[in-house]
Every structure is written in structure tokens, then in C-alpha cells.
């Protein structure tokens, strides 16, 4: 804890002493993922593009690997002046407003819907409106992955094979309820711990992405089972609303346009990257199974039990999203 505080203090000091160009506005973008993670690559691209679009008037400083804050603490720091932007997994939005659990509902979002610009923009606006009282704004949603199950020694082929399994999830009420609906036991655990826990048998499996499988778990996760569309996870780009409002019109447009240019192609690029990682694991001897349409319907019917707990509590959100869907032909 002491060394962590010293590191943050040193980094904050550097942000103060490193000179900006005359009249430049600084944006601090913090992240918990490693510098080598694909999300960091997009962040660095965003930083360069914003500087180019504003002729250096807005300078984005990216701090990966929790150099300043992890994502949860980074969101808490928005509005203090220490952080201006965070790209957390969208499940963390539930801690700010449980109604935003909509984006994590099983069999909710889909690639087809999110690649409809009208729908994506409408959903983003709805999320931002619910966060307005917290002085936060969401500028867009990036694709994480269509999550699936990874097991050490369970070759899951059906719902019955899930009974009693201890599964690691990222957290959030929606994910926890979904896993329980499959007769499994959800365990909230940091991504950095899941590989060791799986290898030691503390858990039976994990709900994760192709990147989590290939880059963090590896051959320990011999079996994968994928129900298409069950859990499309996203990253939310969250910014300090007051900081954004203080920008000039042209600066604000540069920030949003830069992000939109990334979002528009990131969804397709993420799918292609996932397919390559799955193929890589199969070539290394792992088993990757995909539920067919009939089997997927069974999983969806079971997940609807967990989904109903949300829809009964937040019918206004469901109605608003349905209206966006209809308006946009999504």
C-alpha cells in the first residue's frame, strides 16, 4: 500500500512538471490493463489522434497497468481533477446505477445491434443521461468479447454438465444471477487470480474472453464451451462531464470524433482477433465447443429467469431501449 501511494504521488508529480504546449488542455486517461493489452493500443491511438485533431490543444496522457488507479478507483476519481477519462468494463457501471445492468443482460446486446450506429448512439445517450447526476458522460461502448466458459477438466456439452460448477465471473449482479440460473456457483475474482485458481482446483471454470483464455489461462483451460450471444461484454468510455463541458466546441468535437472513428471499426477488429485466438488454442490441443441453435434456446430460456429479476425492477430502461431498437430498425 505504501509503495503504491508513493508511485501514484510520483506519477502525479510528473504530470505537473512535464510542460504542456502553451494553452494546452491535459486529459488524464487511466487504465488497469497492461501496456501490452489491445485496449491500451486503442488508448494510445486515441491520444495521438486527439492531439492531431486539436493541433496539440488537447494532450491525452495514458497511464496503463494501474500506474495511477485501477478502473474502479479511476471512476471514483472522475470529477476530482486527478482523472478525466476511464474505459472500464461496462459491468462496473452497475455500481453507479444498477439500472445500467441492461448492457450486461444475458442474450441482450448483439454485434448486429451495436454495429447499427443509430442504436449504439441511442444506447450511449441513454446511459449518459442516467449518469448525468453524477457528472459523468459515456462517449461510447467498445467490444470486449462474446464471453464463454473455460474449464480445466469438464467437457461441457449441455446445461446438465454445469451443475455444481464453481465459476469465476467479473462481478456484477447480472453475471452472478445468470451463472446461478445455470445451476452453477459464481465466484467474483480478479482476472489476475483466475489462472492460478483454476490450476489449483479452487474453481472449476471461468467466464472469460478468447484473450483471457489464450493469454492468461492457456492450456490449463483445456475445454471451452460457447453459447453465441449469451454474454456480449463491453468496455464503456467514461469521461468527466464537467471537464468535457469546459472544452471549446472544436476540442469537444475532436475528442468525440476521434473516439467514434475507433468504435466504428473496433467491433469488427475485435471479432477477427477473437477468432484467431480461438484457432490458436485449438491448434494447441484445446477443445472448443459451440452450442447449436436448439441448445442455445435452452440456455436462453434458463437465463430468462435471471433476466426477469432485472426487467421487473427496471421496466423503464427496458421500454426506453425497446423504443431505440424500433426507431433504429435494430
Residue 175 shares a structural domain with residue 252: no
Q: What is the pLDDT, as a whole number, of residue 14?
A: 46
Residue 224 shares a structural domain with residue 311: yes
Ramachandran assignment for 55, one of left (phi > 0), alpha (psi -120 to 50 degrees), beta (any other): left
Q: What is the DSSP string of 227-265?
A: -TTS-EEEEEEEEEHHHHHHS-HHHHHHHHHHHHHHHHH
Residue 79 shares a structural domain with residue 171: no
Residue 14 shares a structural domain with residue 81: yes
pLDDT band at 8 (very low <50, low <70, confident <90, very high): low
Flag whether 36 is in a domain: yes
Span 188-192, average pLDDT: 80
Domain range for 310 = 148-231+279-315
Among candidates 49, 73, 82, 46, which has minimal Cα distance to 62? 46
Q: What is the pLDDT, as a whole number, of residue 48?
A: 98
Residue 185 shares a structural domain with residue 36: no
Q: What is the pLDDT, as a whole number, of residue 22?
A: 53
Residue 165 shares a structural domain with residue 16: no
Q: What is the pLDDT, as a whole number, of residue 184?
A: 97
What is the CATH classification number for the domain harbouring 178?
A: 3.40.190.170
Residue 159 shares a structural domain with residue 181: yes
Predicted confidence (pLDDT) at residue 311 exceeds the cutoff of 50: yes
Residue 293 shares a structural domain with residue 213: yes
Residue 191 shares a structural domain with residue 303: yes
Q: How many domains does the chain have?
A: 2
> Are 157 and 289 in contact, with CB atoms under 8 Å apart?
yes
Predicted confidence (pLDDT) at residue 17 exceeds the cutoff of 50: no
- Let me know how long the chain is: 330
Helix, strand, coil share of the chain (percent; to 5): 55, 20, 25
> Are 242 and 78 in contact, with CB atoms under 8 Å apart?
no
Residue 171 shares a structural domain with residue 304: yes
Residue 64 shares a structural domain with residue 25: yes
Give per-residue pLDDT as tens, 97-130: 999 999 999 999 999 999 999 999 999 999 999 9
Amino acid at each position: 500500500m505504501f509503495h503504491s501511494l508513493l508511485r501514484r504521488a510520483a506519477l502525479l508529480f510528473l504530470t505537473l512538471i512535464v510542460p504542456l504546449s502553451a494553452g494546452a488542455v491535459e486529459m488524464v486517461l487511466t487504465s488497469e490493463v497492461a501496456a501490452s493489452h489491445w485496449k491500451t493500443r486503442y488508448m494510445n491511438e486515441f491520444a495521438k489522434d486527439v492531439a492531431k485533431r486539436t493541433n496539440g490543444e488537447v494532450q491525452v496522457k495514458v497511464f496503463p497497468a494501474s500506474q495511477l488507479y485501477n478502473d474502479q478507483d479511476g471512476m471514483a476519481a472522475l470529477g476530482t481533477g486527478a482523472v478525466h477519462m476511464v474505459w472500464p468494463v461496462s459491468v462496473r457501471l452497475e455500481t453507479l446505477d444498477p439500472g445500467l445492468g441492461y448492457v450486461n443482460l444475458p442474450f441482450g446486446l448483439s454485434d448486429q445491434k451495436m454495429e447499427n450506429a443509430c442504436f449504439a448512439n441511442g444506447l450511449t445517450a441513454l446511459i449518459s443521461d442516467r449518469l448525468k447526476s453524477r457528472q459523468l458522460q459515456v462517449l461510447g461502448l467498445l467490444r470486449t468479447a462474446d464471453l464463454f466458459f473455460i474449464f480445466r477438466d469438464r467437457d461441457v456439452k449441455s446445461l446438465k454438465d454445469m451443475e455444481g460448477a464453481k465459476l469465476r465471473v467479473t462481478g456484477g449482479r447480472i453475471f452472478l444471477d445468470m451463472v446461478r440460473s445455470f445451476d452453477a456457483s459464481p465466484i467474483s475474482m480478479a482476472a489476475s487470480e483466475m489462472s492460478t485458481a483454476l490450476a489449483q482446483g479452487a474453481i472449476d471454470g471461468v467466464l472469460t474472453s478468447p484473450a483471457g483464455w489464450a493469454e492468461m489461462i492457456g492450456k490449463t483451460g483445456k475445454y471451452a464451451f460457447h453459447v453465441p450471444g449469451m454474454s456480449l461484454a463491453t468496455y464503456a468510455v467514461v469521461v468527466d462531464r464537467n471537464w468535457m463541458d469546459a472544452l471549446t466546441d472544436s476540442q469537444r468535437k475532436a475528442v468525440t470524433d476521434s473516439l467514434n472513428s475507433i468504435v466504428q471499426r473496433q467491433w469488427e477488429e475485435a471479432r477477427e482477433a477473437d477468432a484467431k485466438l480461438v484457432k490458436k488454442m485449438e491448434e494447441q490441443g484445446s477443445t472448443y465447443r459451440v452450442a447449436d441453435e436448439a441448445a442455445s434456446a435452452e440456455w436462453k430460456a434458463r437465463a430468462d429467469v435471471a433476466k426477469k429479476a432485472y426487467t421487473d425492477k427496471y421496466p423503464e430502461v427496458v421500454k426506453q431501449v425497446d423504443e431505440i431498437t424500433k426507431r433504429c430498425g435494430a
